[in-house]
Chain A
């Protein structure tokens, strides 16, 4: 990537864009020396001081780079703080030091692409898959817990549509009926008991996100924490959902998971049931169970009218 030089004067929107790009490159570069200073070199190896000196004026107290470092620290502290808040379980699995290195690498590779910090973790699963080196040897656990924690971010404030009730479904032809599921509802299949582990972490920690209208002068500080036993290996199917304003999660059966995710994909009720029960144990009373799933889901308000994409 060739880095533009800073225009000597800002007389157009293009000049302004160049200046903002340059400042962005400097600011978004990971800090060095315990997250205190700008890296000594620009992305192409040129001295940072020389590049930043092209646009930031020094004063008698601070050099150009020191002035820019105030912004870079604020940037890094804010986004790291956000990941700390959204992924406490992942941090606990990796340990503080390793989580910090992981978070820096993730944010350097996937800088925030949304006006809201709420979406900061939206690429964490592909990142874990593509860069297992940051989570090894616990990549599989890390992936599951990150998946579970990201689901909670979604469940917290995704939309809730007008729910359909049990009565609304009566008399519909299951061969034709396609049901919508609430946007806040996330189903996941994991290989570790991340729900139990998450509760243990939550009982141990608590935290809150800072507002974005002031400047952060401190890196996220969390007290040293008691180590927890890692989540035990166990195949689980989870529904992460919301009741009133609180996020909940519950374990569901494999068959229920297959059913709901098939409905989510737009399958008719009949087709979804066929997918769900393909390898089901013939000894079970599935008719009774299926009825219970539907009743439970309707009570929780999970079903809504399907919006065609």
Chain B
């Protein structure tokens, strides 16, 4: 049984992000992993090694696509060429859903390659939701929109981040990828209660969860994905699955990457919380 309407993949347990330093280990040792999350952009190429590795992974594992450059929040329209390449990849991987971020990243054709924060207003929510809808219609696969870590807020914002996220996903009728590390990082940077955030989003739309580690600086937290998941993030994770039910969960580790076994062991810690707070009903 799916835990919620946007979570038809309750049997997707705990996944790990597929990263270059682990390719050889995975292809050679074939460790048991529920699923791999791939960064779509790394495989949106016309040939060569990336696609060969991907095809080998696909022979053994389920893969879910996670994107970093659709930029639903750009004032500019969606990039058609990008979408076409993405759709080609969707057909290749058979991803059951795909995710990308609630952010902007380029303007007038200049790309930041970053996940930049949105001003939270109703007009922006409408515009963003419309683009999510367009992408979802074109790609013909459910989209989960992910909240990002942020280090700046705009004077022009008129609602909270969770109100904005809720507005976008309701209007787009899409799922959410709740990144609880990002919620925690932003809550520290912008002084809000992270539990208030997770309690006030539409739980029936949570299709996936990200956990990760971050770095603490004297003036702010930075979303570096280079540490184990700290306790406050696990606490938030526990609260999220209590509210949203058993959800596909993924650990992100992108920098100073340890061995595959170490990353996988860290991800599997989520099992303890899932058993305790969101057991799968028979």
Q: Report A's interface with B, CB cutoff 8 A.
A: 6-17, 19-21, 23-24, 27-28, 54-57, 59, 61-62, 64, 66-68, 70-71, 74-75, 78-79, 111-118, 156-160, 183-184, 208, 210-217, 242, 244-246
* Neighbouring A residues of B226 by C-beta, 8 Å: 214
* Neighbouring B residues of A214 by C-beta, 8 Å: 212, 223-226, 252, 254-255
Q: How far does the alpha carbon of A270 sit from the alpha carbon of B95 in the complex, in Å?
A: 49
Interface pairs (6), CB distance under 8 Å: A6-B156, A17-B75, A70-B220, A115-B41, A157-B48, A245-B48
With a 10 A CB-CB cut-off, give which of A10, A12, A74 has the most chain B CB atoms: A10
Scan residues 200-240 of chain B and give those whose CB is less than 8 A from a CB of chain A: 212, 215, 217-220, 222-226
Rounded to whole Å, the gap between the CB of B159 and the closest CB of chain A is 11
Q: How far does the alpha carbon of A224 sit from the alpha carbon of B218 in the complex, in Å?
A: 30
Smallest CB gap from A213: residue in B: B68
* Neighbouring A residues of B244 by C-beta, 8 Å: none
Contact A10-B108, Cβ < 8 Å, known A70-B222, A211-B254: no
Contact A20-B39, Cβ < 8 Å, known A62-B219, A112-B113, A213-B254: no
Q: How far does the alpha carbon of A184 sit from the alpha carbon of B115 in the complex, in Å?
A: 31
Scan residues 67-119 of chain B and give those whose CB is less than 8 A from a CB of chain A: 68-69, 74-76, 79, 82, 104, 106-116, 119
A16-B124, A75-B114, A214-B226 given. 19 additional CB < 8 A pairs?
A: A13-B127, A16-B119, A17-B75, A23-B116, A24-B110, A56-B153, A57-B155, A64-B152, A68-B152, A70-B152, A115-B69, A157-B50, A160-B48, A213-B39, A214-B212, A214-B223, A214-B252, A214-B254, A215-B114
Quick one: which of A10, A111, A115, A117 contacts B119, CB cutoff 8 A? A10
A74 touches B20 (CB 8 A): no
Rounded to whole Å, the gap between the CB of B73 and the closest CB of chain A is 8
B113 touches A117 (CB 8 A): yes
Quick one: which of B75, B111, B158 contacts A13, CB cutoff 8 A? B75
A56 touches B21 (CB 8 A): no
Q: Check if B191 is an interface residue, CB within 8 A of chain A.
A: yes
Q: How far does the alpha carbon of A118 sit from the alpha carbon of B39 in the complex, in Å?
A: 14
Q: How far does the alpha carbon of A210 sit from the alpha carbon of B20 in the complex, in Å?
A: 10
* Neighbouring A residues of B44 by C-beta, 8 Å: 116
Contact A70-B41, Cβ < 8 Å, known A55-B156, A160-B47, A213-B115: no
Rounded to whole Å, the gap between the CB of B15 and the closest CB of chain A is 14
Contact A56-B222, Cβ < 8 Å, known A16-B124, A208-B20: no
Contact A62-B220, Cβ < 8 Å, known A7-B156, A217-B215: yes
Quick one: which of B47, B107, B254 contacts A20, CB cutoff 8 A? B107
With a 10 A CB-CB cut-off, give which of B114, B115, B149, B215 has the most chain A CB atoms: B114
Quick one: which of A8, A68, A211 contacts B156, CB cutoff 8 A? A8
With a 10 A CB-CB cut-off, give which of A66, A183, A213 has the most chain B CB atoms: A213
Q: How far does the alpha carbon of A74 sit from the alpha carbon of B215 in the complex, in Å?
A: 14
* Neighbouring A residues of B76 by C-beta, 8 Å: 17
Smallest CB gap from B189: residue in A: A59
Contact A24-B112, Cβ < 8 Å, known A56-B155, A57-B154, A211-B39: yes
A75 touches B39 (CB 8 A): no
* Neighbouring A residues of B5 by C-beta, 8 Å: none
Contact A15-B222, Cβ < 8 Å, known A115-B82, A211-B254: no
Q: Check if B30 is an interface residue, CB within 8 A of chain A.
A: no
Quick one: which of B119, B151, B254 contacts A71, CB cutoff 8 A? B151
Q: How far does the alpha carbon of A39 sit from the alpha carbon of B112 in the complex, in Å?
A: 18
B152 touches A215 (CB 8 A): no
B47 touches A211 (CB 8 A): no
Q: Check if B264 is an interface residue, CB within 8 A of chain A.
A: no
Quick one: which of B107, B121, B222 contacts A217, CB cutoff 8 A? B222
Q: How far does the alpha carbon of A116 sit from the alpha carbon of B79 in the complex, in Å?
A: 12
B107 touches A24 (CB 8 A): yes
Q: How far does the alpha carbon of A115 sit from the alpha carbon of B40 in the complex, in Å?
A: 12
Q: How far does the alpha carbon of A54 sit from the alpha carbon of B48 in the complex, in Å?
A: 46
A215 touches B149 (CB 8 A): yes
Quick one: which of B19, B47, B113, B252 contacts A78, CB cutoff 8 A? B113
Q: How far does the alpha carbon of A198 sit from the alpha carbon of B93 in the complex, in Å?
A: 36
Q: How far does the alpha carbon of A17 sit from the alpha carbon of B151 in the complex, in Å?
A: 20
Rounded to whole Å, the gap between the CB of A267 and the closest CB of chain B is 25
Q: Check if B49 is an interface residue, CB within 8 A of chain A.
A: yes
Rounded to whole Å, the gap between the CB of A276 and the closest CB of chain B is 28
A113 touches B48 (CB 8 A): no
Smallest CB gap from A20: residue in B: B107
Quick one: which of A57, A159, A210 contacts B46, CB cutoff 8 A? A159
A183 touches B46 (CB 8 A): yes
* Neighbouring A residues of B19 by C-beta, 8 Å: 211
Q: Check if B66 is an interface residue, CB within 8 A of chain A.
A: yes
